[in-house]
Structure 1
Amino acid sequence: MSQRVFVRFLSILLVSALVGCAPATYRGWSEGSQYFEPVKQPPKQQPKNSATPSDTATCSSEYRVRSGDTLSKIALSCNIALAALAKANNLHPPYTLYVNQRLTVPFSGARLPDHQLSSVSQSLPNPGFVWPVKKTLKYAFVEDRSGLNGLRIYANVGEAVYAMDDGEVVYAGNGIAQYGAMLIIKHDNDYLTVYAHNDTLQVVEGAHVTQKQLIATLGKTGQVMEPQLYVEARYRGRKVDIKPMLEPVMHQ
């Protein structure tokens, strides 16, 4: 994926059906301009004998679109470049999808095998991140099915959340239901950091922030059962393991 892609960003992930609030250009993981198109209902004519992958096999070579999906969300969950997924399916902005539409997932050359992802994270440059909240709070590193860790921090609603490094806010909003109020910060070293489930956002898109600056307050927004902050790191658009990046600073 070209580094030029990251001069400015379109928002993912991670996806929205915001009404009356068009997404800003360049605030996502990869090329494109409109990732917030909702999935439309299928047309009347549908293929008859199409198999639906199970919830635990959503990243097989063929993916069947479900309600709430967007192309960027599918690319994110499968750890592949959105541009590669769009090209494999001859899709163009605004990447409109339909429920039950079948997509080809181009693993070859576009996605690293699961067993290689952790080792790739370990060989990345040190981003120099700091802990995003008070270090005394309860936390847990959580692995996805590729073995890559995100971070969950549990506390009362309103706990201060701080930027882990200097950067530019490339997304601030609640366009992805499962993540609630979320921030994405682009750093100068090709890293992105994601801060999800916030109660309030203290910065806006386009703002430049400094390391340890207050950016949000911890909350219970999105699809979670208790107040928490979810933090994820990405390098050149691909999710990487945040655990080795944050463990050294936990006791500083």
Structure 2
Amino acid sequence: MQQLLRLPLLWVSVVLLTLAGCTSTPHRAPVEDRSVGKSSSAQPSAAGTAITPAPESKPLPGAENAGKPGYYTVKPGDTLIRIAMDNGQGWRDVARWNGMDNPNLIEVGQVLRVVPPGVDAGAVTTRPLASSKVETRPLDGKTPAPSATTAASAPATAAPTPTLAAKDDDDITWGWPSSGQVTAGFDEVRNKGMAFSGKAGDPVFAAADGRVMYAGAGLRGYGNMIIIKHSTNYLTAYAHNQTLLVKEDQVVRKGQKIAEMGSSDADQVKLHFEVRKQGKPIDPAKLLPAR
């Protein structure tokens, strides 16, 4: 009987000794090492589990050229068409120079070459328009807008272009793009070109010999637009058309009817006409002949 009474007391002693042993060894929670300058390799925690550092962000294409002459860093809201026009280039050429598999997909922070390879970005040069090669595509009125947020079309491919005699900037013969009245003149802040009045269907003419770099409705605020390049330095833009009568890569001549006036992306029928030198808008009135 006494042996049976001693058994519970023995178990109590064992439990008390066990509890005493536990309190003598403090418990430590695992701590992640966030100190600066540690190796990027995984570090084991106190619990024996490896802590994997967050992966480094992948640099965007062309990041090594940021800030260099002849390169442009993509900003929110940019489109390839806008970038090309602001730098006096065709968007297909810009896509080709940058080896873009999908010219409709650009990323904010991406750095793009906006001058031809091998050309000094600080030099003013004039070369034959036929020196560039771009894709020939029929005009369907549904040309997508290459942008920083959408991807939609097949990659651009190089194709031979029609030849156009080389011209120095001073040798370009300019003509009026419309017979309508001038309703707004050039203003560096409010109006980057000239506005002409007219009625829907009135003819729009090429202001000089050149090659069509863009024909479509992919640039917000311009509606159905045509961009013609006349030399390395000069291009013209014709906006708000009702109908486009030329297609990309087509050679046009001064006075040729290229579109019909309209009100696309505008509150009234009009032609918005721009002249750009090396991408910068200039006053067309300084180039156009007296009427």
State TM-score, norm by structure 2: 0.45
Whole-angstrom CA distance in 1 between matches of 2:219 and 2:147? 16
Whole-angstrom CA distance in 2 between matches of 1:226 and 1:71? 37
C-alpha offsets along residues 83-142 of structure 1, whole Å, 9 cap, x if unaligned? 58xxxxxxxxx87369xxxxxxxxxxxxxxxxxxxxxxxxx84743111111x5343213
- 2:176 maps to a residue whose letter is W
What's the C-alpha RMSD, in Å, of the aligned pairs? Answer: 3.9
Whole-angstrom CA distance in 2 between matches of 1:148 and 1:161? 19
1:221 partnered with 2:287: no
The aligned length equals 159
Whole-angstrom CA distance in 2 between matches of 1:198 and 1:32? 32
Q: Secondary structure at the match of 2:185?
A: strand
Counterpart of 2:215 in structure 1 is: 172
Query: Which structure: larger Rg?
Result: 2
| Matches for 1:127-146 after TM superposition, within 5 Å | 127-134=172-179, 136-145=180-189
- 1:131 maps to a residue whose letter is W
- 1:190 maps to a residue whose letter is N
**Which ranges in structure 2 are unaligned for 5 or more consecutive residues?**
1-68, 71-78, 85-89, 115-145, 151-168
Aligned partners of 1:181 and 1:196 also within 8 Å:
yes
Whole-angstrom CA distance in 2 between matches of 1:232 and 1:197? 12
Whole-angstrom CA distance in 2 between matches of 1:235 and 1:32? 25
Aligned partners of 1:126 and 1:245 also within 8 Å:
no
Counterpart of 1:157 in structure 2 is: 200
**Which ranges in structure 1 are unaligned for 5 or more consecutive residues?**
3-9, 16-22, 40-69, 73-80, 85-93, 99-123
Whole-angstrom CA distance in 2 between matches of 1:148 and 1:31? 31
Q: Relative contact order (C-alpha < 8 Å, sep 6+): which is higher?
A: 1
1:231 partnered with 2:273: yes
Aligned partners of 2:104 and 2:147 also within 8 Å:
no
Counterpart of 2:290 in structure 1 is: 250
| Matches for 1:177-188 after TM superposition, within 5 Å | 177-188=220-231
Q: Secondary structure at the match of 1:12?
A: helix
1:13 partnered with 2:65: no
Quote the sequence identity (%): 30
Counterpart of 1:96 in structure 2 is: 148
Higher percent of residues as strand = 1
Aligned partners of 1:179 and 1:221 also within 8 Å:
yes
Q: 1:38 to 1:179 in 2, by over 3 A?
A: farther
Q: Secondary structure at the match of 1:205?
A: coil
Whole-angstrom CA distance in 1 between matches of 2:246 and 2:254? 13
Counterpart of 1:25 in structure 2 is: 92
User: Shift of the alpha carbon at 1:226?
Assistant: 0.6
